[in-house]
Amino acid sequence: MPIIKSAQKRVRSAKKAAVRNTKTKRNYKDAIKSLTSALKSGKKSVDNETKKAQSALDKAVKKGVIHKNKAARKKSQLAKAAKKSGATKPKAAKKPAKKAAAKKTKK
């Protein structure tokens, strides 16, 4: 254990950061594993798992756990695997067109 007060604080904050980083890593690895298992099992609709995996990768990049290029590469690989397996996205319902709101002018 360090003697200097600032070094003691760095040890404490490093422990907290390590816990946070391992949790983030675990989340994105679990999301990727669930997507790959869904693809291997032959599910046709894997849109939800794909979104979760991409979101987990983006969060890991935002927190500085992994590099942005690694996340981009992983997302590309996952999308390629989903396309290769023949998984289709569920059809999205059409949204009604937005009407232009009338602007009120001040006198």
CATH number, residue 66: 1.20.58.110
Which domain range does residue 71 map to?
A: 5-81
Distance CA 102, CA 74 (A): 45
Q: What is the pLDDT of residues 20-51, one digit of tens each?
A: 999 999 999 999 999 999 999 888 778 889 99
The span from the CA of 74 to the CA of 80, in Å, is 10
Q: What is the pLDDT of residues 43-93, one digit of tens each?
A: 877 888 999 999 999 999 999 999 999 999 999 999 999 888 876 655 555
Q: pLDDT class for 102, splitting at 50, 70, 90? A: low
Tokens of 28: 């994105």
Residues 53 and 87: their CA atoms lie apart, in Å, by 15
Question: Is 14 part of any domain?
Answer: yes
